[in-house]
Structure 1
Amino acid sequence: MKIWLAAVGRARAGAARDLYDEYARRMTWPLTLKEVESKKRAPPDELKRLEADLLLAAVPNAAMIVALDERGTTLSSERFAERLGVWRDQGVGDVAFLIGGADGHGDAVGKRADLMLALGPMTWPHLMVRAMIAEQLYRAQQILAGHPYHRA
């Protein structure tokens, strides 16, 4: 199973990027980061539409889509690992995690998403979300492998 992370905006060098890179290096599942941004200035609704199109175009068409959204479902690390394990066991080839822009996801992402996932009720900086999802992906991988990294 190949994991994709598509995010609006470019990550700058710094602690959040370093933390993302650390967990990405630990992964045995291939993890590809795709950064997108609209060069066009537009009102918020139009910008969300443009960003949604860019995010969806950055990942494989047949990918299982997980939209990171504060209104989504919250899952424990164990349930998150179970979900990924089910997809892996069903032969899903690609799972794509989408991080929207400052105004959230456009309608196209919501319609295409197989799962809307929240990392809790708080709002997180987009660069932190990259690191947090990379850590949870690594944790899920370790849970599924029976490794003691996760201490339930």
Structure 2
Amino acid sequence: MTPITDVTAQPQQPLQGFEVAFLRQPVHVAHMRHITAAHLCRWGLRPPLTENVVLAVSELVTNAVLYGHGPEAALRVRFTTDTLLIEVNDENPAPAAMSHAGEDDERGRGLFLLSGLTRDWGARDGGTTTWCSFVLSEDQR
């Protein structure tokens, strides 16, 4: 699956959301997972959606830590009545691209995972922002 590139993936009128900047250090991957999980709980969202969203955040933030440019990156999570959008900006103009990991490779499966968990994913802002979206059904809210 090829990501959608340079498409505006903006939900209509966000009901809830947060944005946080973080240093591109591995320890902050866990911090972003915890912050996201706390917000999802506060918003009343439930598993399995919450687990999938936290996994997607982990994958996108890990990519920002590993491949981003500059000392910082930013995570933004927003949702409307029917869509949850995750965006990570890492200032790297090379858009995220799915790779084919070998059997013994320790990396290279994150975007493949995203393609199976999310409605869509892609890159925008000249490649510096990678995003993914989830559909919110009534039973997940």
Going by fraction, where is helix more abundant, 1 or 2?
1
Going by fraction, where is strand more abundant, 1 or 2?
2
TM-score by length of structure 1 reads 0.28
TM-score by length of structure 2 reads 0.29
Larger Rg: 1
